[in-house]
Amino acid sequence: MEDFHILSERIIIREMQDADIEAIYSYRSLPEIARYQYWKPFTKEQTVDFVSKCKHPQLDKQDEWIGLAIEKEGNLIGDCAFKISDGTAEIGCNISPEYQNQGLAKEALCILINYCFKNRDVNQIIGITDSNNSASIKLMESLGMKKNPDFENRVICKGEESIEYKYSMKGK
């Protein structure tokens, strides 16, 4: 398979590499990054496993998360992912704290959205977030995604009850 990479004005979305392990560990080990995720802060070993699983992605796989690196000016600044099932792509993103609040998550997700609509057989994009994750809600709304009023999933995450919201957008 060819190397996967898509450029935008400020960032590159690309396959993960072993050289990304330290940078990914630096933010995925932080409690504030893991707060609304189903995973706990990463250990170094978990980071190595994560990068190993994400290298050489099978982009046409269904029902499986495809993790990609986000790079800016030669620095890994975060990761994003998509999972396609039955014409719907679920998307997600993690940005290192020092690169947050610069519109980079929005730029990364715009790349993923465009990629899924143009290159995969996708007619809908969704994002699922904790109802308390105001930054994620604001991000999805800024992308033009709308909250699904019929979806409020009560879950126990890390021992705490929470409510998940689903946001979505249809292809054009």
Lowest-confidence pick of 23-27, 149-153, 158-162 = 158-162
Q: Copy the structure tokens of residue 28.
A: 């995925």
Determine whether domain 5-170 maps to CATH 3.60.110.10. no
CB 92, CB 127: distance < 8 Å: yes
Average pLDDT for residues 80-84, to the nearest whole number?
A: 96
pTM of the model: 0.91
Task: Please tell me the predicted confidence (pLDDT) of residue 16.
Answer: 96
CB proximity list for 36: less than 8 A, separation 6 or greater: 129, 130, 132, 133, 136, 157
Q: 10: pLDDT confidence band, cut at 50, 70 and 90? A: very high
Ramachandran area for residue 108 (φ above 0: left; ψ -120 to 50: alpha; else beta): alpha
